[in-house]
Amino acid sequence: MSEAENKTASNIAPPKRRGSPLLRFVLIVFAWLPLMFALWYLAAPILMLPVKWLAQLLAYIAFPDLVYQILFVAREFEFVTTLRPGEAYSSAVVSVDVNVMLYSFGLPMYVALVLAASGGKRMWKSLLIGYLVMIPFITWGVTADFLKNIVFSAGQFVASQTGFSALQREIIAFAYQFGTLILPTVIPAIAWVLTHRRFLEHLRGEINRFKPTGAEQA
């Protein structure tokens, strides 16, 4: 190659690098989030029905003498108990309202992640798997919230009727903290990682290719 050709080749600008694949993915996720949260809020009365059924089953098995009925009204579960609010209220019973939205906000986050990473039949499969995985953990949070209320927030008279031991009260406190602070955010992330390992490998490869080589850095 002649000197002129070498100069011409050296003057050719290298192809422009595309933006960071990780940043692009994060921006797509954030773009989906507002719509997913809106849909989650509107569809909650339907999406959370399995949580109500599972909570009823759990109450029937674990607390048959404690919970009389569970109602689902305006995105809140109302636990109607057999407990009396006070000695003067012989015919009244205690009911506890639990906001299911506090324990299911990981669902729209998970959907946004799936939409940003998947497509076609794989996307629908991932959405179904994630939804089914999260239902038991949402039920955990809702049930633990109910138990925390009757044991620690409803007063000594109500708490004494539950018959829970000191150890059981400690377990309820732990279950409530775990179900409130950890599960709503960690479980959607774990479910997404396990259902998108191939995508993560592909994303890692793109990130490695995006990194400048030693010559480019020079």
Residue of higher predicted confidence among 162 and 216:
162
Task: Kindly give, in sequence order, each residue whose CB lies less than 8 Å from that of residue 155, ignoring residues fewer than 6 positions away.
Answer: 85
Half-sphere exposure of 21 (CA within 13 A, CB side): 14
Q: What is the dihedral of CA 101, 104, 107, 110, to 10 degrees?
A: 120
Mean pLDDT of 87-114: 89
The pLDDT of residue 14? 47
Give, in degrees to the nearest 5, the angle at Cα 178 between 173 and 184.
Answer: 140
pLDDT per residue as tens digits for the range 50-60: 999 999 999 99
Closest to 163 in 3D by CA, of 81, 87, 91: 81
Mean pLDDT of 95-107: 95
Q: What is the pTM of this model?
A: 0.84
The pLDDT of residue 207? 77
Using CA atoms, how far apart are residues 6 and 22, in angstroms rounded to an integer? 36
pLDDT per residue as tens digits for the range 119-159: 667 889 999 999 999 999 999 999 999 999 999 988 888 99
Spacing of C-alpha 90 from chain mean position? 41
Confidence of residue 218 (pLDDT cuts 50, 70, 90): very low
The pLDDT of residue 13? 46
Give, in degrees to the nearest 5, the angle at Cα 26 between 199 and 42.
Answer: 100
Confidence of residue 215 (pLDDT cuts 50, 70, 90): very low
Q: Is the pLDDT of residue 7 over 70?
A: no
pLDDT per residue as tens digits for the range 29-72: 999 999 999 999 999 999 999 999 999 999 999 988 899 999 99
The pLDDT of residue 73? 87
Give, in degrees to the nearest 5, the angle at Cα 96 between 185 and 149.
Answer: 65
Closest to 29 in 3D by CA, of 140, 118, 103, 109: 109
- What is the average pLDDT score of the chain? 86
Spacing of C-alpha 108 from chain mean position? 8
Confidence of residue 78 (pLDDT cuts 50, 70, 90): very high
H helices present in the chain, as ranges? 3-11, 21-47, 49-62, 101-104, 106-117, 120-148, 156-162, 166-181, 183-195, 197-210, 214-217
